Amino acid sequence: MIKAILIFNNHGKPRLSKFYEHYSEDTEQQIIRETFHLVSKRDENVCNFLEGGMLIGGSENKLIYRHYATLYFVFCVDSSESELGILDLIQVFVETLDKCFENVCELDLIFHVDKVHNILAEMVMGGMVLETNMNEIITHVDAQNKMEKSEAGIAGAPARAVSAVKNMNLPEMPRNINIGDISIKVPNLPSFK
């Protein structure tokens, strides 16, 4: 079972947290900090698995993580999950985000808190893997978008805001998430480097 899914940036700022077991709000924040501490001190190119922190159950749970440019994606799972399976699931999650947001970057996770949660909900439910097929997930997400659009014409507003930010030339702008071997061409949106 997946106990928690955490996304935070290189500075430990949380960008998404989803807990499938109940902890108090304080404990949740502590878990995020502890996990960041454990994960961030590891070198690149070491293995993607490590024993969980004390707060989330110690050595009975594993942290499985991937590091993409500015973001860490961490899944905390118990012994009933396959490590490599979860690693692939993280990849599917990121690829899906990339498809939905067209060159996903850290900002997208902030602007579209709701969408990211919805995409995650299509993949993981109550701590169990619900769907792993990317096409299926995207079909569901598209269907939701269509329903939103049909109900209100303003659904595009946040997207416009993103493109505005992406066009501004800011010094500390977070970079695009680099998904290694995936390169999805985006003809219309200029991405920033």
Partner 1 sequence: MVWFFFIFIFIFTGKSKEAEIKRINKELANIRSKFKGDKALDGYSKKKYVCKLLFIFLLGHDIDFGHMEAVNLLSSNKYTEKQIGYLFISVLVNSNSDLIRLINNGLKNDLASRNPTYMNLALHCVANVGSREMAEAFAADIPRVLVAGDTMDSVKQSAALCLLRLNRTSPDLVPMGEWTARVVHLLNDQHLGVVTAATSLITTLAQKSPDDFKTAVSLAIARLSRIVTSASIDLQDYTYYFVAAPWLSVKLLRLLQCYPPPEDGALRGRLTECLETILNKAQEPPKSKKVQHSNAKNAVLFEAISLIIHHDSEPTLLVRACNQLGQFLQHRETNLRYLALESMCTLASSEFSHEAVKTHIETVINALKTERDVSVRQRAVDLLYAMCDRSNAKQIVAEMLSYLENADYSIREEIVLKVAILAEKYAVDYTWYVDTILNLIRLAGDYVSEEVWYRVIQIVINRDDVQGYAAKTVFEALQAPACHENLVKVGGYILGEFGNLIAGDSRSSPLVQFQLLHSKFHLCSVPTRALLLSSYIKFINLFPEVKATIQEVLRSDSQLRNADVELQQRAVEYLRLSCIASTDILATVLEEMPPFPERESSILAKLKRKKGPGVLPNIDDVRQEREKERSLNGSLDDGSDAASKTPFLAPCAPPPPSVLSAGTMTSLYPTADLLGPTAPPPSGGASLLVDVFSDSLSAVAHAPLDMSPASGPMSDDNFSRFICKNNGVLFENQLLQIGLKSEYRQNLGRIYVFFGNKTSTQFLHFTSTLNIHTKPAEATVDAGAQVQQIINIECISDFTDAPALDIHFRYGGTLQSFVVKLPVMLNKFFQPTEMVSQDFFQRWKQLGAPQQEVQKIFKAQHAMDTEVTKAKIIGFGTALLDGVDPNPTNFVGAGVIHTKNTQMYRLTLRTSRDTVSQRLSDLLSEQF
Interface of this chain with partner 1, residues 51 to 110, rule: CB under 8 A: 51, 58-60, 80, 82-85, 87-89, 91-92, 107, 110
> Cα 187 to the chain's mean position, in Å?
24
Least distance CB 187 / partner 1 (angstroms): 24
Could you tell me the smallest distance in angstroms from the CB atom of residue 136 to partner 1? 6
# of chain residues touching partner 1 (CB under 8 A): 71
Indicate the residue among 47 and 187 with the shorter CB distance to partner 1.
Answer: 47
Is the four-CA dihedral 114, 120, 124, 127 of positive or negative sign? negative
User: Which two three-digit tokens encode residue 119?
Assistant: 């995409």
Task: Report the residue from 164, 169, 185, 188 that binds partner 1 according to the rule CB under 8 A.
Answer: 164
183: number of Cβ within 10 Å: 10
Residue 11 vs 187, nearer CB to partner 1: 11
Interface mask toward partner 1 for 117-156; x: CB under 8 A: xx--x---xxxxxxxxx-xx---x--xx--xx--xx-xx-
CA atoms within 13 A on the CB side of 6: 29
Return the closest-CA partner of residue 96 out of 184, 14, 16.
184
Could you tell me the two tokens for 41?
Answer: 């001190």
Q: Measuring CA to CA, how many Å separate 142 from each of 7, 63, 145, 146?
A: 23, 31, 5, 6
Asked whether position 44 contacts partner 1 by CB under 8 A, the answer is no
Touching partner 1, residues 11-30 (CB under 8 A): 13-18, 20, 22, 25, 28-29
